[in-house]
Amino acid sequence: FNGIDILINNASAIVLTDTANTDMKRYDLMHNINTRGTFLASKLCLPYLKASNHAHILNLSPPLNMNPYWFSVHVAYTMAKYGMSMCVLGMAEEFKQDNIAVNALWPKTAIATAAIEMLTGTSSTSRKVDIVSDAAYVILSKDPKTYTGNFAIDEDIVKSVGVKDLTPYACDPKNADNLLLDGFLDVPEALSQHQKTITSANRVRQYHTSAVNYKEKEGSSEGQIPTLFASISKVLSSDLVQKTQAVYQFNVKGKEEGVWHIDLKNGDGQCGQGEPKNPPDATLTMDGQHFAEMFAGTNIIECFL
């Protein structure tokens, strides 16, 4: 397109574990994707943004709330997300002379994503992604010279342009006034609701850790991977296909070397040995043991976060 006007740093990795239960691979993953990824993308886009007459960087990251609670429950994740927010704080001032706006956007409530469904088991107390996209549109339409360095909340943004009824944004209109608040907000309800979410996340983690240990001990005459794919095939559905919309190819190395695939883009989903019928959107190469650990428990949503 011969230019870049807008950069949105949205990619994020989330692991809600305390210090003792955060292994360094997951720590590095969160910091590489959240903080380093945001900094690197902003750095590489900078020359093109400088040449634009309407340049915006928008990070999907929380306000810098210094309440110790938000650090105590998942300090590694908080550091990684706050790294994105600190990019906003610093770059907004640094790029001001170049007329490049740098802002953060954060939802007031839970948004119906795969991560929320994994952590809470439902999207009925969440809002649709539409409220975030509408708020982003409003922010990105503003004059970059005058609107920069803000930590915006989606609900506040849409209300500022005249939206009075937020019910259509709710996944379940009956719960429009009883939604799950997002983390990092400076309101008492957010803390109490977040504690319940953390408890749920820990149960998920403990379950999958147990599943991995079980698979390691159990063994199988067929091998771990055929057994795992047999389990995965039982949970494929058109609903999961609609949510994922991607085809994956796995090049497995080690004792159980081979090629496997999961098609979560077509029909009711399909998985098995060999290359997929349709071109893969992503190809992952890994050791067979790591592959088995990733899929233990057959929670596909968690695997692809």
- The region that residue 303 occupies, defined by phi over 0 for left and psi between -120 and 50 for alpha, beta otherwise, is alpha
Question: Residues with Cβ < 8 Å from 2, sequence gap 6 or more?
Answer: none
Q: How far apart are CA 17 and CA 201, in angstroms?
A: 8
The active-site residue, picked from 27, 77, 82, 169, is 77
Question: Which two structure tokens, joined as six digits, stand for 108?
Answer: 């007031």
Separation between Cα atoms, residue 305 and residue 292, nearest integer Å:
16
Residue ranges in 74-127 assigned as alpha helix (H):
75-94, 114-120
Phi, psi of 13, rounded to the nearest 5 degrees: -115, 135
d(CA 109, CA 105): 12
Active site residue 77: yes
Q: Name the amino acid, one letter, at 249.
A: Q
Instruction: Name the helix (H) or strand (E) containing 218.
Output: helix 188-218
Nearest 10 degrees: CA dihedral of 79, 36, 244, 260? -110
- Residue 248: burial class (beta carbons within 10 Å; 0-12, 13-18, 19+): buried
Backbone angles phi, psi at 167, to 5 degrees: -55, -40
Whole-number Å distance between alpha carbons of 35 and 41: 10
Task: Provide the 3-class DSSP secondary structure of residue 76.
Answer: helix
DSSP assignments along 200-213, one per residue: HHHHHHHHHHHHHH
Active-site residues: which are they? 77
